[in-house]
Each structure stands twice: as C-alpha cells, then as structure tokens.
C-alpha cells in the first residue's frame, strides 16, 4: 500500500432530518410569515388612511404574532424531534 492512499473515508453530515422535510417546512414557514406580514402592513396603512377600523389592525397584529410563534415552534420541533 502506498503512503498517499487512505483507508478511511470521512463523510460530513449535511443532511437535515425531521418528521416533515425541514427544507419544505422552512419554506412554508417563510411564506406564511411573509403573507401575514404583508396583510398586517396593508391593514395598518388602511387604518392610517381611515379606510378600516383600528380594531381590525390590532386583531391582525395579534394574529400575525400568534401565527409567527406557532410556525417557529413547529419548525423547531420538527427539526429537533425528527
């Protein structure tokens, strides 16, 4: 055997694992949070121009926060327990 040949092959672990495909979960989480953020922004602008009630804005912001936290928790749990 020549000295420049090796017997050991090292493979770097780059693959994520999860119950659901982590790449898909991250993409869906990004889309859900982005859509929620856009809707909240539009409602805030409409409230500034008095086209909608301010009550709708606070409900939209609260919904955005709940959806964002739930999505983040699901993504975390999927990657840790998967």
- pTM of the complete model: 0.71
Contacts of 3 (CB under 8 A, 6+ apart): none
Mean pLDDT of 9-28: 80
How far is the CA of 44 from the CAs of 11, 16, 30, 36, 40, in angstroms?
Answer: 50, 38, 21, 12, 6
Q: Give pLDDT, residue 37.
A: 93
Residue (of 37, 57, 55) closest to 46 by Cα position: 57
For residue 1, pLDDT over 70 is answered with no
> Per residue in 34-75, pLDDT tens?
999 999 999 889 888 888 878 888 998 999 999 999 999 999
Please give the pLDDT value at position 15: 67
């Amino acid at each position: 055997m020549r000295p420049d040949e090796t017997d050991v092959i090292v493979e770097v672990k780059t693959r994520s694992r999860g119950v659901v495909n982590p790449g898909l979960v991250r993409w869906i989480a990004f889309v859900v949070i982005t859509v929620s953020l856009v809707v909240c922004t539009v409602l805030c602008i409409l409230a500034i121009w008095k086209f909608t009630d301010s009550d709708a804005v606070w409900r939209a912001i609260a919904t955005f926060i709940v959806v964002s936290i739930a999505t983040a928790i699901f993504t975390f749990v999927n990657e840790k327990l998967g």
